[in-house]
Amino acid sequence: MRQLTTLLAFIMLSVFTTACDGPEGPPGLDGNTLLGQTMEFQASFSANNNYSHLFVFPNQVRVYESDAVLVYLLEETIVSNGTNTDVWTPLPQSFFTDQGLLQYTFNHTFSDVNLLLQGNFNLNNAAAIFTQNQIFRVVVMPAEFALDPNLNTMNYQEVSQYIGTNDTNLIRVLNKE
């Protein structure tokens, strides 16, 4: 009986420790793979451009219709622990000014992002701080990553870290205005 138990234990051990053969699975992501792209550009809004700015994605950026496109406005730069820190605010973003309500919104396709400045007052009276030389960042990432419940897409720094972009691989687009 003891020999039978030993034999069964040996057989079970060999069955559980034997490697399986089969087709190799799909490749995984390595630590240096970008899950998305981030682009930065400057825009000004005026009656001449109908208070809008069309940003066309650079050729090296591949955007699919199913991708998530997020847009952030550089609202201010603050000093934190002796270091300048950018404050990025997700769009749409509203501001209450002395003239009334002002809002940055956007829409997009797989080839561009259209930024819109809207207000409940004559935008010709909007302060230059809201209309001139605004800096935006556009993040393009696969929608399944944007839907991750552990990712706060309202936080640019978190999104940037999640997709693996930083100031060294950020695409800065020069103004053509």
Where do the domains of the chain lie? 37-172
Q: Are strands 134-142 and 37-43 parallel, antiparallel or unpaired?
A: antiparallel
Q: What is the pLDDT of residue 57?
A: 95
Q: What is the pLDDT of residue 27?
A: 46
CA distances to 15, 45, 59, 177 from 42, in Å = 63, 10, 18, 9
Q: What is the pLDDT of residue 35?
A: 73
Q: What is the pLDDT of residue 52?
A: 97
Q: Are strands 37-43 and 171-172 parallel, antiparallel or unpaired?
A: parallel
Cα gap 87→169, rounded to integer Å: 19
Q: What is the pLDDT of residue 95?
A: 96
Q: Which residues does the chain have with pLDDT short of 70?
A: 1-34, 175-177
Ramachandran class of 63: left when φ > 0, alpha when ψ lies in -120 to 50, beta otherwise: beta
Cα gap 93→4, rounded to integer Å: 75
Fill in the DSSP letter of residue 168.
Answer: T
**In this predicted model, what pLDDT tens digit does every residue of 44-93 receive, in sequence order?**
999 999 999 999 999 989 999 889 999 999 999 999 888 888 999 999 99
- pTM value? 0.78
Q: What is the pLDDT of residue 32?
A: 46
Q: Tokens standing for 37? A: 């792209």
Q: Which of 109, 121, 130 is nearest to 57 (CA)?
A: 109
